[in-house]
Amino acid sequence: MRILISTWGWRSHFYCLVPLSWALRAAGHEVLVASHPSMTPVITGAGLAAVPLGADVDFEEVFTGHVGKVGKSAGPEAGDDALEPAITPDGGVVRMADALLDDLVAFGRSFRPDLVVWEPFNLAAAVAAAALEVPGVLALWGPDHTSTLRMDREAVLGPLAARFGLTADDVSTTGALTLDPVPEPMQVPLTGPVQHLRYVPYNGTSVLPSWLHEPPRRPRVCITGGTVAGPGLSDRAELPDVVRAVAELDVEVVLAVVKAQRDALGPVPDNVRVSDGPLALRLVLPSCAALVQHGGAGTMLTALAHGVPQLILPEVGDEHFNAERLLAAGAGMSLENPDAASVRDAVATLIGAGPWRDAALLMRDRITAMPSPAEVVGVLAGLAAGEGAPA
């Protein structure tokens, strides 16, 4: 098969596609990954062939200060300056699609893929699959956050589809099949055919440091702020304050942070490790007793794949959503208005034996029981051959 994988915007959006791409390549299929030019080193760093297309749009510039105002809800209680959680014709999702779409369809007509695979919010790929008249596959990166967003299909998809003589009704944003990596009871109800897919963590290029060669001498707690640069974990919990507070416990603290966050730390206590190079969560979390994080879906599932209970400090809409899904599974805690002391106290609870650890281990076992990417390759081959999606 010829598989065209399309990813957009930001490296963490691409990471969920990497293990599946490897499985397709290992089975002998041709896989090309099309995205904005700035994504090229991220894609090639994963050992995959990149196809730079369209124009670059600064992801952080487009979304920072907009998505951040969207919390659990945008009703009257959210305040006058809150934004309704929606995909709009002038929003960042459409701007990213507009910058990629024409070149993506043009390349697709040359490459002639048997299948197009994309991740959530990638409207360009959904339109391209319709324009190329090939089956599309939506690969979820976590709980389906799109279920919480309003989208006027005609206003959003209509102009994009019209470029190729299509209507909004001709475009399916979920494709012919949805790949779901989320164990019960974390996922929300999905529409259309669904294929479960084991979540295999990939967090970018990485190096295994010497201190990870041996188990820790006391409970290890990992703190991460995700892949978007920023000084804090929330409005009230600045990263340096959180680090120092957690370090007051009898633990070893490991920071998995981007350079801007690392530079803003200042002096740290002796029981805090700050990695000098790339530190993939999939390498450090197996030795951890707890994780403190912002609420990213990939980070959440990586922790659950290793049975690690976690504390989420959500700020933006999808982080609140992911925190709610984690609480539904009982595998961690969430603090809506944290300060350093409340984070420390929550971590002290999580590192002990308790229901959160038991639930996290249950989630790990459910993830492990899902079909591996290698096992799902045959399903995708059947879909491309016209056999249809699994019932």
Tens of pLDDT, residues 117-146: 999 999 999 999 999 999 999 999 999 988
For residue 388, pLDDT over 70 is answered with: yes
Give the pLDDT confidence score for residue 64 in this predicted structure. 60
Percent of the chain with pLDDT over 90: 70
Q: Mind giving me the DSSP string for 10-42? A: -HHHHHTTHHHHHHHHHTT-EEEEEE-GGGHHH
For residue 213, pLDDT over 80 is answered with yes
Do residues 6 and 137 touch, judged by C-beta distance below 8 A? no
What average pLDDT does this structure show over 62-76? Answer: 48
pLDDT at 369 over 90: yes
Q: State the pTM of this model.
A: 0.92
Check whether 153 has a pLDDT greater than 70. Answer: yes
Q: Does the pLDDT at position 66 exceed 60?
A: no
Instruction: Give the mean pLDDT of 164-169.
Output: 98
Crossing angle of helices 373-384 and 18-26, in 10° steps, is 70
> Does the structure show a pLDDT above 50 at 179?
yes
pLDDT value at residue 237: 73
| Domains (range + CATH), the chain | 2-198+370-384 (3.40.50.2000), 210-369 (3.40.50.2000)
Contact 188, 144 (CB under 8 A): yes
